[in-house]
Amino acid sequence: MESLSCPRCSTEMTHRVLGDTTVNTCPDGHGVFLERADLGSLVEAENDWHRNASQHTAPMPRITSDMAPPPKSSHHARAWVETLFS
């Protein structure tokens, strides 16, 4: 496998295999990088885990092109955590 460099610090990234997916990680914590197909595999694995974990967990929704963004809020939140309680 070709070695990749972190786009932020240019350090050679480490890679590890998760099932059939390869994840490249900056050893200095600047990010995780993977191919689009690998992201899809990880999302499917996450959905499978939720499907089999418990009746109280829900799978991640599949994003489709016909989805609309949520309506704009008339009240502008001062912090992200405020959005959890509106």
* 46 in a structural domain: yes
CA distances (Å), origin 77, targets 70, 72, 73, 81, 82 = 15, 11, 9, 8, 6
Q: Is residue 21 part of a domain?
A: yes
Domain assignment present for 33:
yes
Q: Is residue 13 part of a domain?
A: yes
Q: Residues of the chain with pLDDT > 70: what percent?
A: 72
| Residue 51 forms part of a structural domain | yes
Confidence of residue 9 (pLDDT cuts 50, 70, 90): very high
Helices (H) and strands (E) in the chain, counts: 2, 3
Domain span at residue 50 reads 1-55
**Residue range 44-84, pLDDT digits in tens:** 887 877 777 666 656 667 778 888 877 776 666 666 566 65
pLDDT band at 41 (very low <50, low <70, confident <90, very high): confident
Q: What is the pLDDT of residue 51?
A: 74
Sequence letter at residue 75? H
How many domains are contained in the chain? 1
- Confidence tier at 12 by pLDDT (50, 70, 90): very high
Between residues 10 and 81, which one has the greater pLDDT?
Answer: 10
